[in-house]
């Protein structure tokens, strides 16, 4: 199996998405979600849709929402006792081009290409916020990542676009780049974003500036904070960002497979196609 992505929940809980492969290691149309808790894999379920992202739910430490590219959503109330969950679909969106999902308030926010964002707490779906532009058929736009910053939501994506939602209203802020942004997170009152060609952005409020690290032009895919430190990942390595300096992280991995980072106040995980690792403050441990 090749892993697609992964995310941490509350405490020492995490979930991953994977795609099955044939005997020649070629991906096939079979997908799986796996759930890990406190040192052990506790359950695994097969999916009948192509998953692109997942996020924890606020109402339980092992509850999750899994988003499919066609707007399918599997609500998993408990990875321990009810991992099969309940399948639904995002109402109001065309069944194509869904990209990311994140916890927001008492529910989740799901984004679709064309800069459409929907919200649900497990019942019906509704458009989230006003002010996003109508779909532009002349170019591809949309959010690749979203993150909560206090009571607000920030989305980043194609063309380097950065949007904030405050008081249910979206507003675009000036971006110093036009490169696709692929990751975003909040840290210590600041917003951090990363993207293609080694781009890292950092700033407060509506003002983000390019971090001139001069380290690499690798594409970055995610950026997170963990216990007062900032980490960013390419498909080749994990880096720690200090001020404007990037330092490669020694994770003792012999596989060297990276892509997605996710963290809470207890654990940091790294998920690549062939490897999932967990860091709890001392050393990295491979769990897949």
| pLDDT, position 136 | 64
**CA gap 55, 101 in Å, rounded:** 6
Whether 139 is covered by a domain: the verdict is yes
DSSP string, 221-251: -EEEEETTEEEEE-SS-EEEEETTEEEE---
Q: Are residues 270 and 183 in the same domain?
A: no
pLDDT at residue 60, as a whole number: 79
Are 160 and 178 contacting, i.e. CB atoms less than 8 angstroms apart?
Answer: yes
pLDDT in tens, 203-246: 987 789 999 999 899 999 999 999 999 999 999 999 999 989 99
Q: Are 105 and 55 in contact (CB under 8 A)?
A: no
Same domain, 59 and 154: no
Tell me, yes or no, whether 156 lies in a domain. Answer: yes
pLDDT, averaged across the chain: 93
Judge if 137 and 231 occupy the same domain: yes
Please tell me the predicted confidence (pLDDT) of residue 26.
87
Q: Is 246 helix (H, G, I), strand (E, B) or coil?
A: strand
Contact status, residue 176 vs residue 214, Cβ threshold 8 Å: no
Residue 139's pLDDT band, with cuts at 50, 70 and 90, is low
Query: Would 152 be classed as within a structural domain?
Result: yes
Tokens representing residue 159 in the block: 């063309």
The three-state secondary structure class of 160 is helix
Domain with 64, as residue range(s), is 1-92+250-288
Same domain flag for 163 and 192: yes
* Helix or strand (DSSP H, E) at 210: strand 207-210
CATH number at residue 183: 2.120.10.80
- pTM attached to this predicted model: 0.95
**pLDDT at residue number 137:** 55
Domain tally, the chain: 2
Same-domain pairing of 219 and 259 = no
Angle (CA) 91 181 285, round 5°: 95
The stretch 40-45 carries a mean pLDDT of: 97
Tokens 């849709």 appear where?
49
């Amino acid at each position: 199996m090749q892993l697609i992505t992964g995310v941490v929940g509350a405490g020492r809980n995490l979930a991953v998405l994977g795609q099955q492969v044939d005997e020649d290691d070629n991906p096939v149309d079979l997908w799986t979600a796996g759930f890990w808790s406190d040192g052990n894999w506790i359950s695994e379920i097969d999916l009948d849709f192509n998953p692109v992202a997942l996020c924890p739910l606020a109402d339980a430490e092992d509850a999750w929402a899994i988003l499919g590219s066609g707007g399918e959503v599997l609500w998993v109330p408990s990875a321990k006792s009810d991992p099969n969950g309940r399948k639904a679909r995002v109402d109001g969106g065309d069944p194509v081009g869904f990209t990311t999902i994140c916890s927001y308030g008492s529910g989740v926010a799901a984004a679709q290409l064309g800069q459409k964002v929907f919200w649900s707490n497990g019942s019906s779906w509704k458009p989230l916020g006003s002010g996003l532009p109508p779909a532009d058929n002349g170019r591809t736009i949309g959010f690749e990542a979203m993150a909560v910053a206090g009571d607000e939501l920030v989305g980043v994506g194609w063309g380097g676009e950065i949007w904030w939602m405050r008081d249910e209203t979206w507003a675009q802020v000036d971006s110093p780049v036009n490169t696709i942004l692929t990751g975003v997170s909040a840290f210590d009152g600041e917003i951090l974003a990363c993207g293609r060609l080694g781009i890292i952005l950092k700033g407060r409020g509506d003002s983000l500036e390019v971090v001139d690290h001069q380290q690499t032009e690798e594409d970055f895919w995610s950026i997170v904070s963990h216990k007062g430190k900032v980490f960013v990942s390419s498909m080749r390595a994990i880096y720690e960002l200090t001020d404007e300096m990037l330092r490669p992280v020694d994770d003792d991995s012999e596989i060297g497979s990276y892509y997605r980072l996710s963290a809470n106040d207890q654990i940091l995980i790294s998920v690549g196609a062939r490897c999932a690792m967990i860091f709890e403050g001392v050393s990295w441990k491979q769990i897949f």
